[in-house]
Structure 1
């Protein structure tokens, strides 16, 4: 939902969080690769699992995909909510 994403990313704390997470991942990824690791699982959560965490994950996925990493995104709670399941 574009309007939700705009609202989330207008907050400085969100942009700061993403910048710090980017820095951490850019530090860790080469180390994982050097050790021969095939993948890294990252989980981001929020209270409902349908807006903030989804927006953050999608943005991270976009950034790291554009940087040449293979990305697989799975929104666990978003899929559950769309199917009417409880957490």
Structure 2
């Protein structure tokens, strides 16, 4: 197991509107994502896939407990454009 925890935020473009999305990965595992609700209004109604402050606080508490004493490397990346792939 590595002594460095990698926290990566990947920024992308929403599919149907001129807006951005963000996805948070910790050591390569997807933890949370955010996208505009206009893409999927059902999410706003049913609260599916929505994370709020209490979810983030729980994630941070677990993160600190699990990775105590390790260095953290923060990475910020843009998703590749679909035309580039």
Please indicate, yes or no, whether the TM-score normalized by the shorter chain is above 0.5: no
Rg bigger for which structure?
2
Q: TM (normalized to structure 1)?
A: 0.34
The structure whose residues are more often helix, as a share, is 1
Q: TM (normalized to structure 2)?
A: 0.34
Q: Which gives a bigger RCO, structure 1 or 2 (Cα 8 Å, sep 6+)?
A: 2
